[in-house]
């Protein structure tokens, strides 16, 4: 399928009234973007919150199955935790600088941002109390408090609590000999104010109970075909005589502290990076609190006591009215049974050619194999690596490891290969945020098995996802490579959409070998970016890599389309990304739009680009798809005067991906791959069920529908791959125009 087909699909399914012809007159000089001007660039933090609002809208969407709505609400809270751990600490400092250096119109006070956060939290709490809890009670389970249950159920919960959770609790009285403990990041604590009694010397004394992270937050009990959920903190309070036998409660509140999560490594004199990361994780002196949550409004005295102990300002306190909700709500979404209240189960399909082949290397050598996860099974990738580990003809395996997860079959295959005497080289990224402890453990286990373990180049995260297998075939050594947009993580491969390539193409596999050699053989160099690019670029034939000139490559590709449009010819760019924040690349896209290039951007998360501004970016359309799978694949399409050049890779259009990470982008060379990738873009661009479109005012609106012609891209892919595997007649993929209308006469799916 060529670029003309993609163009026709866009014309039919996205903008039926917009001409795809570029203006015949010479293009005017492009308007320049001011990076500090909020009219040309959206604030990254505001765009991030807009993304999480789209996640929340899936929980609010009444057409989403009930248990899936609990899942999206859980994801909303998980995302919010990450926002505070990663962004807010930096924003507090930035807000002070902006207040001194910029006008009020260009600054973003931290209070304004937190006001929006509070608004989102209020929406989430209202959704939980007034919609999800009643909906759950109608057909699945009741969320209740112990005192609302009958005596039999209450005794059953007490017995379960005594046998399972009680032994995990450490009750702590706060007094001179028992000072306030260090409040760990994201752990919940029940704060209890006791009534004065003969056993207490103070008018008010406090107790603390940490909710154990190994216990489930929601206790489930079943009776006569009905299920009940009770929050653990309510169970503790209902059975406080088992914890503080002497106490009578005056007040109680559940609190939770969020701390910054930036990792501070030890100084340059520390020789071992692994130990440096390990010590940095243990260092709590830099983990200052950025948020305090409470399950109810805090009494004045309790609030100021906690502020002193936690060292937090009052504006960083978030008080709920009924319940402290967290990502632990995911437990409800996993409620057994009730399949009608969740998305239909589907089974990832094996690749047809790999399934038939006795040896994966034979199939890959015959033709490139493209996999679209999770619709096509990640087990094909695992099988490739396990076969390499066992194959006596394989002499070496090289592998990057970023986020591999627990019980990783990929790492197990590498350990097995090393134990069998094969050369195994593992590039382990120790500083992958939130995965540091796991990666340290994998690094040690791989070393013990005999693998060569390195940690990339200090100062750059190794974000490229690559495997290289070297196999002796006759008198020669042949390389096989696996390249992916996603991590080597069997769990997330079931819930993230990603693309991967298995290939024996000599030029691509040679380039992969070059990148591995750079990662193991290039020291930390203090040199300008231009020198670094000139050092490495000539050695790569087909692959593009960061930080070795990847931004310049994309600017050249966008610039080529801009020049084509300026000459009056058709030009087209389609990009599918996770994030779009790089000012230089955004400026290039603005210039392309002003020259007449039709630009479609499928950006799941943060997007600083403003779309649809007249005379500036009116030829740019941005959509974001939020659905049951996390959209994680990255595709870059350029029309190239009808030839249709497509690239796939690990890099988003972000400064960190271009400057501070090792990334890999590769071309789609085979006709089967081009057809597959083109179809994927077509189907995404036609989504009018789960797509949100970015307006010129910086807000996202869910597409409003009428009629029967609805396209939900992820459901389409499930159907498509099932048909291919089971040999049914594949449906015509030429997509029809979605009947969408944003006017008030149409029915909205849910609030946006």
What integer pLDDT is reported at residue 282 of this predicted model? 55
Active site residue 463: yes
Kindly provide the residue ranges of all beta strands, DSSP E only, lying in 337-429, ordered along the sequence: 369-373, 394-401, 423-428
Cα distances (Å, whole numbers) of residue 717 to 79, 575, 624: 26, 19, 17
Task: Point out the catalytic residue in the list 351, 373, 463, 632.
Answer: 463
Please check whether the domain covering 3-13+38-46+543-704 is classified as CATH 3.30.870.10: yes
Distance, in Å, from the CA atom of 196 to the CA atom of 199, rounded to the nearest integer, reads: 8
H or E stretch covering 555: helix 550-566
Domain topology for 352-524: Endonuclease; Chain A (3.30.870)
Q: Give the phi and the psi of residue 265 in degrees, each rounded to 5.
A: -80, 160
Shortest CA distance to 72 belongs to which of 59, 63, 62, 82? 59
Which CATH code fits 140-263+289-341?
3.30.1840.10
Shortest CA distance to 657 belongs to which of 714, 605, 580? 580
Distance, in Å, from the CA atom of 32 to the CA atom of 274, rounded to the nearest integer, reads: 44
CB atoms within 10 A of CB 720: 19
Pairing of strands 141-144, 465-473: unpaired
584 burial (CB, 10 Å; 0-12 / 13-18 / 19+) is middle
Could you tell me the two tokens for 439?
A: 């990666």
160 burial (CB, 10 Å; 0-12 / 13-18 / 19+) is middle
What integer pLDDT is reported at residue 505 of this predicted model? 97
Exposed e or buried b per residue across 620-638, where buried means at least 16 C-beta atoms within 10 angstroms of its C-beta: bbbbbbbbbbbbbbbbbbb
DSSP 3-state of 197 = coil
Could you tell me the two tokens for 696?
A: 């010129």
- Residue 745 is given by DSSP the state T
Residues in the chain predicted with pLDDT less than 50, given as ranges, are 1-5, 7-27, 97, 103-107, 264-271, 276, 281, 729-752
Could you tell me the two tokens for 105?
A: 């119109």
If phi > 0 it is left, if psi is from -120 to 50 it is alpha, else beta; for residue 612 that is left
What integer pLDDT is reported at residue 12 of this predicted model? 40
What integer pLDDT is reported at residue 41 of this predicted model? 86
What integer pLDDT is reported at residue 579 of this predicted model? 97
H or E stretch covering 688: none
Q: Where in the chain is the domain with CATH 3.30.870.10?
A: 3-13+38-46+543-704, 352-524
If phi > 0 it is left, if psi is from -120 to 50 it is alpha, else beta; for residue 537 that is alpha
The predicted model scores a pTM of 0.87
Q: Where in the chain is the domain with CATH 3.30.1840.10?
A: 140-263+289-341
What integer pLDDT is reported at residue 706 of this predicted model? 60
Distance, in Å, from the CA atom of 237 to the CA atom of 194, rounded to the nearest integer, reads: 12
Q: 346-395 pLDDT, tens per residue?
A: 899 999 899 888 899 999 999 999 999 999 999 999 999 999 999 999 99
What integer pLDDT is reported at residue 175 of this predicted model? 76
């Amino acid at each position: 399928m060529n670029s003309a087909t993609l163009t026709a699909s866009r014309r039919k399914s996205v903008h039926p009234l917009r001409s795809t012809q570029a203006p015949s007159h010479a293009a005017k000089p492009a308007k320049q973007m001011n990076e500090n001007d909020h009219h040309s660039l959206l604030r990254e933090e505001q765009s991030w919150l807009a993304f999480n609002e789209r996640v929340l809208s899936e929980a609010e969407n009444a057409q989403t199955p009930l248990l899936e709505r609990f899942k999206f609400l859980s994801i909303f809270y998980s995302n919010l935790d990450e926002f505070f751990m990663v962004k807010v600490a930096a924003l507090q400092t930035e807000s002070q600088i902006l207040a001194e250096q910029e006008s009020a119109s260009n600054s973003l006070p931290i209070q304004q941002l937190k006001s929006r956060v509070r608004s989102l939290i209020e929406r989430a709490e209202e959704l939980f109390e007034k919609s999800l809890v009643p909906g759950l009670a109608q057909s699945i389970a009741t969320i209740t408090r112990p005192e609302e249950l009958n005596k039999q159920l209450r005794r059953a919960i007490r017995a379960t609590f005594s046998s399972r959770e009680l032994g995990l609790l450490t009750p702590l009285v706060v007094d001179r000999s028992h000072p306030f403990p260090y409040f760990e990041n994201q752990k919940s604590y029940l704060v209890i104010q006791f009534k004065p009694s003969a056993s207490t010397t103070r008018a008010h004394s406090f107790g603390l109970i940490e909710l154990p992270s190994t216990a489930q937050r929601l206790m489930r009990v079943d009776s006569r075909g009905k299920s009940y959920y009770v929050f653990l903190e309510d169970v503790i309070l209902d059975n406080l005589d088992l914890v503080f036998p002497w106490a009578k409660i005056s007040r109680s509140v559940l609190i939770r502290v969020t701390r910054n999560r930036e990792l501070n490594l030890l100084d340059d004199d520390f020789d071992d990076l692994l130990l440096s990361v390990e010590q940095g994780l243990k260092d709590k002196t830099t983990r200052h609190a950025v948020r305090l949550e409470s399950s109810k409004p805090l009494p004045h005295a309790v609030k100021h006591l906690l502020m002193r102990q936690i060292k937090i300002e009052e504006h960083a306190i978030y008080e709920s009215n009924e319940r402290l909700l967290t990502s632990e709500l995911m437990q409800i979404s996993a409620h057994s049974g009730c399949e009608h209240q969740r998305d239909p189960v589907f089974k990832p399909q094996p690749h047809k050619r790999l399934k038939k082949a006795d040896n994966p290397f034979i199939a890959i050598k015959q033709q490139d194999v493209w996999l679209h996860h999770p619709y096509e099974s990640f087990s094909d990738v695992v099988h490739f690596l396990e076969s390499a580990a066992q194959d006596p003809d394989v002499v070496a395996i090289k592998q990057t490891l970023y986020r591999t997860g627990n019980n990783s079959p990929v790492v197990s295959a590498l350990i097995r290969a090393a134990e069998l005497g094969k050369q195994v080289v593992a590039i382990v990224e120790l500083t992958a945020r939130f995965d540091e402890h796991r990666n340290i453990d994998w690094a040690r286990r791989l070393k013990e098995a005999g693998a060569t373990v390195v940690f990339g180049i200090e100062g750059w995260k190794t974000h490229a996802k690559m495997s290289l297998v070297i196999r002796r075939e006759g008198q020669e050594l042949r390389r096989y490579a696996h390249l992916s947009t996603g991590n080597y993580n069997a769990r997330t491969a079931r819930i993230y959409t990603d693309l991967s390539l298995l290939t024996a193409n000599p030029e691509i596999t040679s380039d992969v070998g070059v990148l591995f050699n750079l990662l193991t053989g290039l020291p930390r160099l203090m040199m300008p970016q231009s020198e670094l690019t000139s050092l490495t670029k000539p050695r790569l034939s087909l692959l593009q890599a960061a930080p070795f000139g990847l931004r310049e490559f994309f600017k050249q590709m966008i610039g080529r389309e801009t020049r084509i449009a300026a000459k009056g010819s058709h030009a087209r760019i389609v990009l599918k990304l996770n994030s779009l924040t790089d000012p230089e690349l955004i400026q290039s896209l603005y210039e392309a739009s002003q020259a007449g290039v039709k630009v479609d951007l499928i950006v799941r998360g943060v997007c600083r680009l403003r779309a649809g501004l007249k005379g500036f970016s009116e030829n740019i359309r941005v959509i974001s798809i939020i659905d049951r799978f996390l959209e994680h694949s990255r595709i870059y399409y350029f029309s190239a005067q009808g030839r249709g050049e497509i690239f796939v890779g690990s890099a988003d259009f972000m400064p960190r991906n271009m400057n501070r990470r090792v990334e890999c982008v590769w071309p789609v060379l085979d006709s089967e791959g081009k057809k597959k990738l083109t179809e994927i873009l077509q189907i995404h661009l036609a989504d009018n069920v789960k797509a949100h479109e970015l307006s010129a005012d910086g807000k996202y609106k869910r597409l409003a529908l009428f009629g029967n012609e609805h396209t939900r891209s992820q459901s389409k892919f499930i159907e498509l791959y099932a048909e291919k595997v089971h040999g049914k007649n594949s449906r015509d993929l030429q997509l029809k125009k979605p009947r969408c209308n944003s006017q008030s006469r149409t029915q909205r799916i849910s609030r946006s």
